[in-house]
Amino acid sequence: MRMGNWFKILVGRLIPQINNFEIMMNAHPRIGIRPIIDGRRGGIRESLEDMTMGMAQSVKELFEGTLRYNDGAHVECVIADTTIGGVAEAAAAADKFRDLNVGAVISVTPCWCYGCETIDMDPLMPKAIWGYNKTERPGAVYLAAALAAHNQKGLPAFGIYGRDVQDRDDSSITPDVQEKLLLWGKAAVATMQMRGQAYLTIGSVSMGIAGSTPVPDFFQDYLGMRNEFVDTAEITRRVNLGIYDHEEFKRAMEWVKVNCKRREGPDYNREDLRYDRENLDRVWEYSIKMAMIFRDLMVGNPVLARMGYEEEACGHHAIVGGFQGQRQWTDHMPNGDFAETILNTTFDWNGIRRPYTFATENDTLNGVSMLFLQLLTNRAQMFSDVRTYWSPEAVKRVTGIDLEGRAAGGFIHLINSGSTTLDATGAMSDAEGGPVMKPFWEVTSEDADACLKNTTWMPSDRQYFRGGGFSCHFRTRGEMPMTMCRINLVKGQGPVLQIAEGWAVRVPDKVFDTINLRTDKTWPTTFFAPRVNGIEGSPFEDVYSVMDNWGANHGAISYGHVGAELITLASMLRIPVCMHNVPASKVFRPSAWKAFGMDKEGADFRACQVYGPIYG
């Protein structure tokens, strides 16, 4: 049956949870809102109560109506029981927040208040302060005083202050304030959701890739996460002993038969390396089991407990994972291409669902980069090799075609060895008919069908993957806004983040066909043109400069221009950004960063060095 019909059958049917990811993410961390007030009673405080609580309520409504958790639920906020005019009320708010799983706090005020008596003092809690810009009541004065106290005490906080003076009876959130509130809110929610989770490594180091070597200190100190490790022998054990949901496997086999096997592409292997139909079917079966087992290892599966495998049912509490694959596994077993693709996609045989962030070749640093993007956008993420820069001259030489539009300055060929999210086909469409990658709760069965129809499943190149496999093959639909990022570790410096906003570009078929044949005609392709500035010596002088300055062989790619969100998140985690093309007006970091010099990027490095990792 078609994907759309299959999904409709499931609507309204009570299906048991296939894993404990819902349980794992359901104890949502909350944002605490602290309404700060002038504590002088006898008229002043009383006159400000409604206005101050109104500010807190407006922030709550903004966050709860706009922000979402990784599972699609709306973000939850908690307002302190009373306004905070002194240390006793500040302590009472902290006690309440502790009991209600608050993981980040924002203070709001329209007036002067007592700085050190009212600020939040928890060193692990991301903080922001919004002070009204009004002449009748000096909320901005408190903002400045409280930020000075935070900076003096080494407790970084984000300051939010509107550009235009508002009238006393104007309780609206102006657009510039809303923009900063949401930048902070998205970063805070991402930070809270990572804390206490795990990165699961399945296997070991892939092909000597440095990022494939997990560095537990980085995960613990900067992200508040732990590392879990499982040998690939566990895959074999679970397959051989049947430690997976057999009913789900039957459902998956039927779904793959209809949606994938009938879209198999030609086998480009040498004749002596081509599998017959029986062996191709065997590879499909094993690949499906790998996908199910990877997921169960990450987040568990209550079905396994009912089968008598209580330990296996628990999973590893992993919000992100990766599979070594090459070469010890892929030299004799099916590769992870199908499993990695389907995990990173917003749908499978169980219907529409959140994507599981999962890194090819267990590149942990690219997996974390994907996780940042996924938590900030709630969309599926691409994992790609940053493979080749194609200059306009090189394209002209091999195809005879002049590049035009956003591709006129050349492009970077993003391609992965057979796996990336099917959402990256760009086959979903927005209201105007343009290509889009949607949050999973907006994905429809028609969207899923479109992605599947634009994907061909190619028998994997058995000179690369001796055990076979199936690699997804597609070309990303052009003119889709995208952001590429990458975390790198530098000895003596620590982690640094690179960001490049740009577009997936449209090129003539002849250009694609020529480049596709020169690279690998069984793998998925995205042609990416970053936004450049033409400034000599800049890493964004031209497209070549972006490629030349990229710090690793992989990149994580998201729909949309979300570089500003990444910069705010990185500063919250105290990870400096070494390269970005985000407009200066969109850069939002803690107030203390302004005290480290006038060059924003240098100040970012100095501040992160002084404050150190948030959990370190």
Cα dihedral sign, 482-566-70-366: positive
Per-residue confidence (pLDDT) for residue 172, from 0 to 100: 87
Unique residue bearing structure tokens 């003096």:
152
Rounded Cα distance between 420 and 426, Å, is: 12
Confirm if 526 and 414 have CB atoms less than 8 A apart: yes
Question: Mind telling me the catalytic residues?
Answer: 361, 385
What are the start-end ranges of the H helices in 214-269?
A: 216-218, 233-241, 246-259
Chain segment 557-583, per-residue pLDDT in tens: 999 999 999 999 999 999 999 999 999
User: How confident is the model over 83-110, as a mean pLDDT?
Assistant: 96
Label residue 136 by pLDDT band (50, 70, 90): low
Other CB atoms within 10 Å distance of the CB of residue 169: 8
What digits encode the pLDDT tens for the residues 185-209?
999 999 999 999 999 999 988 888 8
CA distances (Å), 49 to each of 35, 37, 46, 117, 319, in order? 9, 7, 5, 18, 41
Please answer whether residues 594 and 603 qualify as being in contact, where contact means their C-beta atoms are separated by less than 8 angstroms: yes
Please give the Cα distance from 283 to 285 (Å, whole number): 5
Q: What is the pLDDT of residues 350-373, one digit of tens each?
A: 999 999 999 999 999 999 999 999
Give residue 134's pLDDT: 66
Question: For residue 487, what are its two tokens?
Answer: 């975390």
With beta carbons less than 8 A apart as the criterion, state whether 287 and 342 touch: no
Q: Is the pLDDT of residue 138 over 80?
A: no
Sequence ranges of the domains in the chain: 30-194, 198-611
Residue 475 has pLDDT above 50, yes or no: yes
- 8 A C-beta contact, residue 346 and residue 336: no
CA distance 153 to 616: 17
Stronger pLDDT, 166 or 50, i.e. the higher one: 50
% of the chain at pLDDT higher than 70: 95
- Cβ atoms of 375 and 193 within 8 Å: the answer is yes
- What integer is the mean pLDDT of 465-491? 96
Provide the whole-model pTM: 0.94
Q: Which two tokens stand for residue 442?
A: 């907006």
Among the listed residues 278, 288, 279, 273, the one whose alpha carbon sits nearest the alpha carbon of residue 239: 288
Mean of the per-residue pLDDT values of the chain: 93
Residue 200: both structure tokens together: 């699961």
Residue 464 scores a pLDDT above 60: yes
3-state secondary structure of 379: strand
Q: What is the DSSP letter of 164?
A: S
In this prediction, residues 247-274 reach a mean pLDDT of 97
Q: What is the CA radius of gyration of the chain?
A: 25
What number does CATH give the domain 198-611?
3.20.14.10
CA distances (Å), origin 27, targets 122, 192, 508: 21, 11, 49
The answer, yes or no, to whether residue 417 has pLDDT greater than 60, is yes
Q: Which fold has domain 30-194?
A: Rossmann fold (3.40.50)
Strand partners, 504: 480, 528
Q: E-assigned strands of 333-381?
A: 347-348, 351-352, 357-360
Domains 30-194 and 198-611 share a fold: no
